[in-house]
Amino acid sequence: MASPRAEQISRPPSLLEVIGNRLFRGSTLIVAWFTVALVGWIVVSIGRQALPSMRAYGLNFLEGTVWDANRSRFGILPAIVGTLYSSILGLAIGAVFGLAIAIFLSEHFLSSAVDSLLKFLGLAEDSWVSWLPDKIEKVLRVTIELLAAIPSVVYGLWGIFVVIPFVRPAADWLHSHLGWIPIFGTGLSGPGLLPAAVVLAIMVLPTITAISRDSLAAVPPKLREAAFGMGATRWEAILAVFVPTAATGIFGAIILGFGRALGETMALAMLAGNSNVISWSLFSPANTLAALLANHFPEADQIEVGALMYAALMLLAITLVVNIVGTVILQRADAGLKGLR
């Protein structure tokens, strides 16, 4: 049988196809640039709306502690302090748990535990259960990811009816017995920083877990083997070798988690109390930039909208810086690990 000639299975593109190709490639290029321009467009459009109130209030806006639309007095210092305080609190809780879970998953604690249980029961050789360890670990991973799938407004609802009643007795006890310590300086009258921070921690946890687990999993096997070969216990290896090697990635994960916490809106609008108070107390009501926007925007008049746009611009500036720093750190982490492989 003769092999087919080139003309039989292929042909040069027709003029129409060449033109279509040019148009299609051009359109993808335009869309690509549109994506880049979108970031600029967001900054410019919010900035332009904020311009009148930037002129009117200047830097006093950042120092003011009153938000009163009736008297046209606007200041966001309590909101900035509240944003940073609640985010750092939430991040501290979320990072501890997130990192613990990342180690738990990347070291395959669960599957090895199930494995030894199966061996103990003498079932390890049976093919109908040998898939169990891997399967259970996958279920755990998906379950952790599900934490991120629950909408924040649902966490807010849960926070109102579960977290606040749950922490309230403890908070009141701490306040009445240890009230001289600034962080217990007030009682929890309902909404407050601590319940908001607890919910924030839940929301940043999946981000921190996912990225840290990836960085821990990317630790080169030869480092692993070397550590164990030198007789390190599992946790000596984790703390002295794996975590330091993955440190840049873990740090990037925490920074990105911080970015999420700074911009998280619903949990704080529902749980922080929306009150312009600056207090060290964990139980005091507070306000954040995002919650301020959520609570005031729907019913704002022209002047207040201007002030809110100014506040939005500040939030945008803070989160952009944090996110860019986090993204750059993660890129560095990726590049750094390449040298070790």
Partner 1 sequence: MAASFEGGRTTSQLDLESIERSLRRPRTLFSYLMSMLTGAATVVALVPLFSVLYLLVKRGAMALNIATLTSLPPPPMAPGGGFGNAIVGTLLIVAIATILSVPLGILGAIFVSEFGPETRTASAVRFAAKVLTGLPSILAGVFSFAVVVVATGGFSAPAGGIALALLMLPTVLLTAEEAIKGVPARMREAAIGMGATPTQVVTRVVLPTAAPAMLTGVMLAVARAAGETAPLLFTALFSDFWVSGTHPYFLPKTIGDVMKPTASLAVIIYNFSGSPFENQIALAWTAALVLVMIVLAFNVIGQSLAGRSVD
Sign of CA dihedral 253, 256, 262, 267: negative
Cβ burial 148-165 (10 Å sphere, 16+ → b, else e): beeebeebbebbbeebbe
CA 309 to chain centre: 23
Q: Is 236 in the site for partner 1 (CB under 8 A)?
A: yes
Q: Which stretch binds partner 1 (CB under 8 A): 51-59, 62-70, 102-110, 124-132?
A: 102-110
Which CB atom, from 175 or from 258, has the smaller least distance to partner 1? 258
Name the one residue in this structure whose structure tokens are 């959520």.
294
Which CB atom, from 170 or from 340, has the smaller least distance to partner 1? 170
Of 31-50, binders to partner 1 (CB under 8 A) are 31-36, 38-39, 41-42, 45-46, 48-49
Q: Is 226 in the site for partner 1 (CB under 8 A)?
A: no
101 and 205 in contact (C-beta within 8 Å)? yes
Least gap, CB of 71 to partner 1 (angstroms): 22
**Which of 174, 193, 243, 256 is close enough to bind partner 1 by CB under 8 A?**
256
Cβ burial 35-71 (10 Å sphere, 16+ → b, else e): eeeeeeeeeeebbebbebbbeebeeebeebeebeeee
Of 272-331, binders to partner 1 (CB under 8 A) are 290, 293-294, 297-298, 308-309, 312, 315-316, 319-320, 322-324, 326-327
Which CB atom, from 224 or from 280, has the smaller least distance to partner 1? 224
Which CB atom, from 225 or from 236, has the smaller least distance to partner 1? 236
**Which of 146, 230, 240, 335 is close enough to bind partner 1 by CB under 8 A?**
146
Residues 6+ apart with CB under 8 A from 149: none
Q: Is 116 in the site for partner 1 (CB under 8 A)?
A: no
163 and 202 in contact (C-beta within 8 Å)? no
What phi and psi, each to the nearest 5 degrees, are found at residue 73?
-110, 120
Least gap, CB of 17 to partner 1 (angstroms): 5
In 3-state terms, what secondary structure has residue 122?
A: coil
Q: Is 202 in the site for partner 1 (CB under 8 A)?
A: yes
Of 41-100, binders to partner 1 (CB under 8 A) are 41-42, 45-46, 48-49, 96-98, 100
